[in-house]
Chain A
Amino acid sequence: MRHGILKGFSRRGFLRGCVALAAAPMIVPARVLGRDGGVAPSNRIVFGGIGIGNRARAILPNFLWFPDIQWVAVSDARADRLASAKELIDAHYGTKACRAFPDFRELLACKEIDAVLIATGNRWHAMASMFAAHAGKDIYCEKPISLTLGEGRRLVETCRRFGTIYQAGTQRRSTASYRFAREMVLQGRIGRVHTVESQVWATGTIPHEKATPVPEGWNYDMWLGPVQWRPFVPGRVNNWTCFWDTGEGMHTDMGTHYTDQMQWVLGTDDTGPVEFETTDIVWPDPATCMSETALTGTFRCRYANGIKGVIYQRGEFKDRYIRYIGDEGWIQVDDDTDLVTAQPASILGLRSSVGASWDNAGDHISNLLSSIRSRRPAVCNPEVGHRAQSIVGAMTISARLNRKLKWDPAKERFDNEEANRMMWREPRTPWCV
């Protein structure tokens, strides 16, 4: 009998998503851990959640499905979300035991917690992860893993320093359609890849709004976290993706999924492109809009071997895709439908298995759990996540400076001093560790 949050969550669908589970030497089956198919309490991985908003609620069922996960605590800067998250977890377990912490640092101080899901707004991802690593917790963190290149590098160093197991929420690495596309490229089915093209959707504009009092139940100071203080403006807070200090725009937020795929397929997980350029950027009108990030645009990069990457920010939400283009064909994954198309179409006949689409992160979580037990790096470990994020981060800087930038992926430095100074933003105290 599944409780509240898992109602309507199909077991068959979930298991279909976990096709890799049986093949990989990952999790010891429940039957060998405890009695009657359950998991012995001492073998459970105890989780807490930091930032339990819309994204967390979407992914939480994927976590709760695993019998070897015990969710014991939640934290959020908003009282309404905190209360509803506790209610949700308690309903799942049929208890009142989930602890609710307005301050995530108290959650991190709980010794029984092994790992955390970080699903805050983007401004918090890297810093909350570093707080967690300092506290000895393993981490599943939603993407983008950071907002600046410097922050990402510090995250990598911090996790390495404490031996933290970290999984970035770029779960398409664990999604069957994307795995198939990669396999076909690696098998040379489209010849030599020369371009990796992707598309994210165009963003709207946010009109100017005056500051208002902070709503009751919000810890706005904590909500802002490392970002330099600004007055509470509802339109800005609710559309934080469209502002430089809290979101960095859609090519960053969604684009990092695609740069992660590109890096994976090209085998460049520990390095990256050498050149960045942006064109056709349409900015919001500052006279009428307070939003800052690009509405549409083309974000390009080039690797040392000449392979090009491009992210188009245009069209509608449903139009997002990634396409690998080679000298003998192409293969594309449509994110909205999870449909794979290719030229030559015969490539599609080679697909032997299907799985759940990206919205089921079961395999990705399974990989994290396995890594926590074995202490071996997860598939989207900090270096992998940082390198993927670096690409969109560098594109952002190129766009903001309106210039082509050269990048040394070994030293992680641009050929331009202003660009280098944009790689890090000093966090606001006390939201720094």
Chain B
Amino acid sequence: MCTALLVTAMALLLPTPSAFASELDTFVARAAKYESGGSAEPLLQLERLLREATGDPKASAELETALSRLLAPDTTFEAKRFACTYLAVYGSEASLPALAALLKQEETVGIACFALDKLPSAKAGDLLRAALPEAKNVPRVQIVDTLGHRAEAASVKPLLELTREADIAVACAAIRALGAINAVSARDAVAALRREANPALAIAVAAASLNGAEQLVAAGDRAAAAALCEELLLNTCLPHIRRGALGLCLRSDADGGLQRIQKLLGAEPVDPVLAAAAIARVPELRGKDVSKAFGKLLPRLPPSEQVLLIEALASRADADARAVIRTQISAADPRVRHAALTAVGALEDASAVTLLATALASATTPEEAKDVQLALAGLRGGETTDLAIGAVLRQAAAKDKPPLMTVLSRRGGRTAVSALLAQSGDSDETVARAAAQALARIADSGDSTALAALQTAVAGDDSRVREVSLRTLTAWRGVAAWDTLAGIYVKPENDAQHALALRGLVRIAGDGNAHPDAALIGRYRQLLAGARTDDDRKLILNVLAGAGHPDALTLALPLLDVPGVRAEASQAVERIAKAIQTAHPEVARSALQKL
């Protein structure tokens, strides 16, 4: 019912039969002469009709005939190319005679095969096979390639004959095509070629063999596939062929490749080509004690493979894998230690702090210490881990404290700030200095949790902690510390606090000069309002001079009348006026006249 309705609807949409035929004739006649540079309209009209004819067998047949007419000897190459492109999508057996003629010419064999490849009828394959004996050189390879893509069992015999060709391109194409055909006869033919071991054909034969092994796996014949792969795993084969064979084996092994990988890694010496590919599979292996088993194999491997296995175990991330990895942070080889430390940092939490702290204290090179620091900085567990590091820091010898403080500064957060503030009062000057540096790093990170901790500390009871906190806030990245600093600037405990706060505020304001806006001007206004001395004003004016905003002039101009800062105010007015003179010429000129 639906189909009938559709056909009726299509019939209504298409022109009447006679008009349709006439229109088609017109388009075909014009399309037959198509060459680059001319209008492509007839081609597009034909394409439209093809789309619209879907579901209408009669119209489709007429259109196919029309496309076949475009393959006649007197049409242009580009018309033929167009026709073949669309016969590939819409063509049927009806177009085979016209396409057959194109197979005979080197110029057109490509476009003919383009159409024939997708033609569903088996007769298309017959046509290609029939054309093979007379085809030479490139046309022959083209036909062979297309037969390979069609992958019909009937092509095995003619293709097999071509594998003996002296022309290597033809022989390789034939082998490639045989590999694509899922048939016993094709696999047997490739097996025979494997036994002949012609070096010129080796890659093509190996690739076709891998293809055949895949077909066997897909058919459920794992044993036959494995036997074939064993031949391809031999170290006389090329590395990528061996890796391909191993991959197929591992994918088809009932245990996911566990035993095969263990055997490979347990061999002496370890196969350098296959080891990495085998280890790459380790994360996907299922089963109890898998990680433990590979942990036992680990020490037997060369360092480069140990590194890979540690990374693979890290991907498994189960308890056994983590236990194995922990043992390797003290491995003899630096590459192995690096891999283990990286993995520990990514996988572990507070429970690894003591282990890593010990490793940090015993690190023999700066690079190794950095690896441990990165691992500590990366540990999971948030504040719990921070607290554990803080506890170790408190107990550590003075010489071991600076690297631990670097770790805390990388981790940031409330606990880190608290621990570092405590250390900043250490009687050992080196420790105190390292704590200040670590706090400065936190300030540079702009960590909002750490900021909150410092804002609390700066208002706390301990005057030393208040001072260190204030110093840290003066270096805080961005504008987040402004309000706190501004509060201290206006109501300091002493002149030193006022001066420190001003230094921090001026730095923040200066950073904003690149994008001057009303908020920035507001900040400068706040600064000038809180200035206590001409020295304060001088400092502010020096930075205000870089704010290219007309309202910055409004702030600077009144200071021309203050004798103690007149020179700085003049300089500021001049710089600001010059910076804004393009956008605000009147304001700038007026200001400059006051100098």
- Which residues of A does B touch, CB under 8 Å? 22-25, 28-29, 31-32, 133-136, 157, 160-164, 208-211, 228-231, 233, 236, 283, 286-290, 373-376, 401-403, 418, 421-422, 424-430, 432-433
Contact = CB atoms under 8 A, between A and B. Distances in A.
B43 interface: yes
Closest 5 CB pairs of A and B: A210-B37, A163-B243, A136-B240, A429-B142, A426-B117
Contacts of A162: 207, 210, 240-241, 243-244
Interface stretch (B339-347, B355-363, B520-528): B339-347
B111 A208 contact: no
Contact of B114 (A24, A211, A375, A425): A425
Contacts of A418: 54, 89-90
Contacts of B187: none
B424 interface: no
B78 interface: yes
B118 A426 contact: yes
Contact of B118 (A23, A24, A31, A421): A421
B89 A231 contact: no
Given A136-B240, A426-B117, A163 B39 contact: no
Contacts of A32: 334-335, 338
B442 interface: no
B246 interface: yes
Interface stretch (B294-302, B307-315, B380-388, B552-560): B307-315
B338 A208 contact: no
A236 B307 CA distance: 51
Contacts of B141: 429-430
Interface in B276-309: 276-277, 279-280, 283, 307-308
Contact of A374 (B85, B169, B276, B343): B276
Given A230-B36, A426-B146, A375 B243 contact: yes
Contact of A375 (B37, B54, B203, B280): B280
A421 B121 CA distance: 13
A230 B81 contact: yes
Contacts, number: 157
B113 interface: yes
Nearest to A371: B280
A426 B116 CA distance: 9
B238 interface: yes
A25 B338 CA distance: 9
A29 B310 CA distance: 16
B60 to A, nearest CB: 10
Contacts of B247: 160, 163
Contacts of B346: 23, 25
A429 B147 CA distance: 13
A31 B79 CA distance: 62
B110 A28 contact: no
Interface in B214-243: 214, 238-241, 243
Nearest to B148: A432
A375 B277 contact: yes
A253 B45 CA distance: 26
Nearest to B337: A32
B244 A161 contact: yes
Given A25-B314, A421-B89, A433-B176, A375 B276 contact: yes
Contacts of B308: 373-374
A425 B111 CA distance: 10
B88 interface: yes
Contacts of A31: 367
A283 B111 CA distance: 25
Contact of B142 (A164, A290, A428): A428
Nearest to B241: A162
B40 interface: yes
B565 to A, nearest CB: 38
Contacts of A157: 214
A188 B239 CA distance: 45
B44 A286 contact: yes
Contacts of A289: 40
A208 B36 contact: yes
Given A32-B334, A426-B110, 6 more contacts: A163-B246, A163-B247, A288-B39, A418-B54, A424-B118, A429-B173
A402 B51 CA distance: 8
A161 B276 contact: no
Contacts of B335: 28, 32
B35 interface: yes
B307 to A, nearest CB: 7
A103 to B, nearest CB: 14
A287 B41 contact: yes
Contacts of B339: 25, 28
A163 B240 contact: yes
A433 B169 CA distance: 11
A231 B107 CA distance: 12
Contacts of B149: 424, 426
A236 B279 CA distance: 48
Given A25-B314, A28-B307, A429-B142, A236 B36 contact: yes
A290 B40 contact: yes
A211 B35 contact: yes
A170 B507 CA distance: 41
B114 A163 contact: no
Contacts of B77: 231
Interface in B131-183: 138-139, 141-142, 145-146, 149, 169, 173, 176
